[in-house]
Amino acid sequence: MKRISKSAIKYRRVTSSIYLIIPILTLLGLFVTTFFTPENVDFYLYLSIGGVGLLTLIYIGYYIIAEPILTYKYLRYQIENGELIVEQGIFTRKRHVAPLFRIQNIDVSEGPIMRKFGLSGITFSTASEKLYIPELEKEEAVALRQMVREIIRNSKRGSSV
Q: What is the pLDDT of residues 36-83, one digit of tens each?
A: 776 666 777 788 888 988 999 999 999 999 999 999 999 999 999 989
Q: What is the pLDDT of residues 80-127, one digit of tens each?
A: 998 999 999 988 999 999 999 999 999 999 999 999 999 999 999 999
Per-residue pLDDT, 109? 95
Per-residue pLDDT, 34? 77
Mean pLDDT of 137-157: 91
Global model pTM greater than 0.75: yes
HEC secondary structure over 72-97: HHHCEEEEECCEEEEEECCCCCEEEE
